[in-house]
Amino acid sequence: MEKLLYPLWKAPSLSGDQFRDELLHLLAPQLTEIKGVHGVRICVVDSAVSAAAGRAIESHAPRPDAMLSVWADFAGAAGHWEPLIDAHVSAKTAYLVTEAEPLVSQQTHPSIPGERLYGVCQVVFMSPPDDMSRNEWLTIWKDSHTQVAIDTQSTFGYRQNLVVRRLTEDTPVCFGIVEENFPPEAMASDHAFYATGGDEALLQKHMSAMMKSCTRFIDFQKIDVIPMSEYLVKPVVSL
């Protein structure tokens, strides 16, 4: 099975909430009926995450309005579902990725298919500095930074998507895409974001540790951070 990630852009005439409803109620039912599509998730910038606007970072304007995850038998069959996507967006790009899930959100906050998941999903597009090898980047991210992120933040879900290839010529270069689930209070509160319980000294310690770790392997001139609402439309069923 393969996972595809589609950053999506809405028509200018639509609000974030209208775009969300179109994706959930019109596109999603079509996708779930396609043979060979085993899972669908939609993350979208809507009014429910407006309080998190201050956490957004935009290096590649305009930032996507949503991100669609599709799990399918074969990425080469995308011609069966991409025309359906195109009918509901003004633009899209596409990545083929491999997924790891160091923290499984379903274990603490189970989702009901089609309903909004608790909290906020922070979607991050990132790449290493130009002078860093891919192997060194992977070693730092996977073998070191992962635990730092878990230990210093209030995440209850953490998905790491390693980009295997870009599927369209206009898809920006990106090495990794992260999906992090935070409690709703983390949208506006640093203490809630960094799991400090209101302790100012601990906040500074966690922020410093996280930033120090990130600067080891992330080029901050290329990063995009987008708070979104998450909807797991069709869970992948393990065999």
Q: What is the domain-level CATH number for residue 220?
A: 3.30.70.100
Q: What is the mean pLDDT of the chain?
A: 96
Give a yes or no: residue 196 inside a domain.
yes
**What is the per-residue pLDDT across 51-79, written as a single tens digit (0 to 9) for each?**
999 999 999 999 999 999 999 999 999 99
Give a yes or no: residue 30 inside a domain.
yes
pTM score = 0.96
- Identify the CA nearest to 104 among candidates 47, 149, 158, 50: 158
* Lowest mean pLDDT segment, chosen from 94-103, 108-117, 127-136, 159-168: 108-117
Answer whether residue 106 shows pLDDT above 90.
no
* pLDDT value for 237: 80
Give a yes or no: residue 239 inside a domain.
no
Give a yes or no: residue 105 inside a domain.
yes
Give a yes or no: residue 26 inside a domain.
yes
**What is the mean predicted confidence (pLDDT) over 25-40?**
96
Non-local (6+) Cβ contacts of 200 within 8 A are none
The range of the structural domain enclosing residue 124 comes to 2-234
Answer whether residue 239 shows pLDDT above 70.
no
> How many separate domains does the chain show?
1
